[in-house]
């Protein structure tokens, strides 16, 4: 799994845990609906740290908590 896929799955996991839709997360985090939809659909595989921070702020979650997930273990090497 690459980092883009892990971030995508983590966002969906957190939405499920908080019982909110991706669209609600968009509102809470101040990220446009289209940007968030592109991330969770896999069309955008290069989410910025700034975007992850906004998601965390919207969910009242630390960045460390976002990345504390088995999804981020054993990621593929990005440099080829």
One digit per residue, the tens of pLDDT, for the chain of length 80 reads: 999 999 999 999 999 999 999 999 999 999 999 999 999 999 988 899 999 999 999 999 999 999 999 999 988 887 76
DSSP string for 16-29:
HHTT--HHHHHHHH
Domain 3-69 has CATH 3.40.50.300: no
Locate the domains of the chain by residue range. Answer: 3-69
* pTM of the model as a whole: 0.91
Query: 24 is written with which tokens?
Result: 């609600």
């Amino acid at each position: 799994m690459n980092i883009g896929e892990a971030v995508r799955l983590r966002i969906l996991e957190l939405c499920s845990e908080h019982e909110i839709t991706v669209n609600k997360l968009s509102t809470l985090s101040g990220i446009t609906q289209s940007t968030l939809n592109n991330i969770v659909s896999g069309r955008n595989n290069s989410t910025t740290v700034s975007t992850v921070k906004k998601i965390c702020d919207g969910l009242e979650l630390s960045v460390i908590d976002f990345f504390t997930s088995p999804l981020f273990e054993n990621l593929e090497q990005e440099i080829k």
